[in-house]
């Protein structure tokens, strides 16, 4: 079995962490330096992370997450946001390629125009779908990277989005997609892994 296969199988959603274990900004930034290579539509990089380690703010997040112990005991709670207006950055993101001559002016202008048109014609629901879709890809990559570096994580959807928005002053253009708690798992009472469908139950070829 390859190291990557072992990593994928070892990653678990940790419901309880050993409390009072600190995680440094340096360690987190090393992870985020790899997270940035996650795929995103048109390389728009829709995802923004808010890392909460401050006790007072974390207490507010704990309340917003209905007092789930995993938030209380985590080394950090990370709020994953998707940018509803990421498409507006298509020009600045591609300026480097234009300046290097990888793109010519015509290709650059067509790319900017077509991406703006796609998102604006798609409307609010498409922008929201794209924000959530792309942030979720990034979040999964973060969790695998964290596991590779010896940290355990748990993705969470059980929280009051508006309370979280107020606690960390999230601008309106961002949608809270999920939270990820990170720390060192207290595996003393870990449950057995839940049922996983065999491949034939969730994969078909060429039609449903």
Residue-level pLDDT at 75: 98
Q: Is the pLDDT of residue 148 over 90?
A: yes
Residue-level pLDDT at 191: 84
What is the pLDDT averaged over residues 105-109? 97
Residue-level pLDDT at 136: 98
Q: Is the pLDDT of residue 141 over 90?
A: yes
What is the pLDDT averaged over residues 5-30? 96
Angle at 177 between CA 151 and CA 20, to 5 degrees: 30
pLDDT in tens, 36-68: 999 999 999 999 999 999 999 999 999 999 999
Distance CA 62, CA 70 (A): 9
Residue in the block written with tokens 């508006």: 162
Residue-level pLDDT at 39: 98
What is the pLDDT averaged over residues 101-117? 97
DSSP annotation of 19 reads T
Residue-level pLDDT at 127: 98
Confidence grade of residue 139 (pLDDT, cut at 50, 70, 90): very high
Distance CA 164, CA 64 (A): 6
Confidence grade of residue 189 (pLDDT, cut at 50, 70, 90): confident
Residue in the block written with tokens 């601008």: 171
Taking all residues of the chain, what is their mean pLDDT, rounded to a whole number?
A: 97
Query: What is the per-residue DSSP string for 24-60?
Result: -HHHHHHHHHHHTTS--GGG---EEEEEE--HHHHHH
Global pTM reads 0.95
Confidence grade of residue 190 (pLDDT, cut at 50, 70, 90): confident
pLDDT in tens, 80-91: 999 999 999 999
Tokens coding 206: 């060429």
Residue-level pLDDT at 13: 95
User: Could you tell me the maximum CA-CA distance found in the chain, to the nearest angstrom?
Assistant: 60
Distance CA 54, CA 180 (A): 16
Distance CA 149, CA 158 (A): 26
User: How far from the centroid of its chain's Cα atoms is residue 39's Cα?
Assistant: 12
């Amino acid at each position: 079995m390859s190291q990557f296969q072992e990593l994928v199988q070892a990653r678990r959603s940790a419901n309880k962490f050993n409390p009072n274990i600190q995680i440094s900004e340096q360690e987190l930034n090393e992870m985020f330096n790899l997270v940035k290579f996650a795929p995103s539509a048109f390389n728009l990089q829709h995802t923004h992370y808010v890392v909460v380690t401050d006790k007072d703010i974390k207490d507010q997040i704990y309340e917003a997450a209905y007092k789930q112990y995993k938030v209380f005991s985590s080394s950090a709670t990370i709020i994953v946001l998707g940018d509803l207006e990421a498409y507006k950055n298509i020009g600045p993101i591609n300026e480097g390629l234009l300046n290097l001559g990888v793109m010519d002016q015509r290709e650059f202008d067509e790319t900017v125009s077509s991406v703006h048109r796609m998102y604006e014609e798609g409307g609010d629901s498409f922008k929201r779908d794209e924000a959530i879709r792309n942030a979720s890809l990034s979040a999964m990559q973060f969790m695998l990277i964290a596991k590779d570096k010896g940290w355990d994580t748990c993705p969470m959807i059980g929280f009051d989005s508006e309370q979280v928005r107020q606690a960390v002053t999230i601008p309106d253009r961002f949608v809270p997609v999920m939270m990820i708690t990170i720390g060192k798992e207290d595996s003393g009472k870990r449950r057995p892994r839940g049922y996983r469908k065999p491949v034939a139950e969730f994969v078909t070829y060429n039609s449903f």
